[in-house]
Amino acid sequence: MDKRTFKPEQLLILILPVLCSLLGLTQGSGNPLDAPRNGIGQSQIYLATGIVTAIIALFVYLRWIYPALMTVVIMPLIFSLLIVTLTPEKISLFMLYPPIFLFTLMIFLGLKYIFYLPALLRFRTILFSLYAGASLTLYFRIQYLFMKVPPEAGFWVNRFVNSLLLYIFIALGISIADMFITHREVKKLQAERREAILNDEIDEDDDDL
């Protein structure tokens, strides 16, 4: 498939999912920008999740697969370095990077083969939310395994419900951005078609004269 040309309105794919994730986090767990004193909390992880999903979504929409894959590789490294820097406890970078990398790779695959798949257009928001919510839950479990932390009671249900709610907001943001961009493109094509028809009619009138 050919790459799309970047247009300013496509930045909505980057902005709206993050804003929607902030809204979802505010409804569920207070101010997501208030980091705990002992490092990075769950809200900050969820906010970072919204950011990386939005970046990958923009690249996948533009069909810039190489930049999307670079994001899958580089963003986990950036997040891992931030966690190591901001967390008082000594945590190995090699304990953080693999689970985050696996998660971002799964999000890339979900965006490419679920959300932006034309055949799933009607159901993409809920299908992607379920898939991404399960992916985020799996990330937490793998991260616990790497850090040798036993899961709390009700881990799977609690993590999945929270992750699903987060991704409903994120997917909704991407959907709204995509619908707005599509509407703009349709209006532009209609205007160009009307202009072309008018020009043809003017040319025919000139020929008759």
Higher pLDDT, 176 or 1: 176
Is there a domain that residue 208 lies in?
Answer: no
Contact 85, 44 (CB under 8 A): no
Is there a domain that residue 1 lies in?
Answer: no
Range with the poorest average pLDDT among 15-24, 75-84, 97-106, 168-177: 15-24
Indicate whether 41 pLDDT > 80. Answer: no
Question: Token match 């999945």: residue?
Answer: 160
Length of the chain counted residue by residue = 209
In tens, the pLDDT along 112-169 reads: 999 999 999 999 999 999 999 999 999 999 999 998 889 889 999 999 999 999 999 9
By C-alpha distance, which of 60, 165, 49 is closest to 100? 49
Q: How many domains does the chain have?
A: 1
Is there a domain that residue 187 lies in?
Answer: no
Is there a domain that residue 193 lies in?
Answer: no
d(CA 188, CA 45): 39
Q: What is the mean pLDDT of residues 58-79?
A: 96
Q: Residue 36 contacts by C-beta under 8 Å, 6 or more apart in sequence?
A: none
Is there a domain that residue 189 lies in?
Answer: no
Indicate whether 27 pLDDT > 80. Answer: no
Contact 134, 160 (CB under 8 A): yes
pTM for the full model?
Answer: 0.87
Q: What is the mean pLDDT of residues 75-87?
A: 91
Is there a domain that residue 144 lies in?
Answer: yes
Q: Residue 125 contacts by C-beta under 8 Å, 6 or more apart in sequence?
A: 115, 168, 171, 172, 175
By C-alpha distance, which of 145, 159, 162 is closest to 96? 145
For residue 38 the two structure tokens come to: 């002992």
Q: Supply the range of the domain harboring residue 98.
A: 8-182
What local confidence, expressed as pLDDT, does residue 205 receive?
Answer: 52
Is there a domain that residue 84 lies in?
Answer: yes
Is there a domain that residue 194 lies in?
Answer: no
What local confidence, expressed as pLDDT, does residue 112 receive?
Answer: 96
Indicate whether 24 pLDDT > 80. Answer: no
Question: Token match 């930045």: residue?
Answer: 11
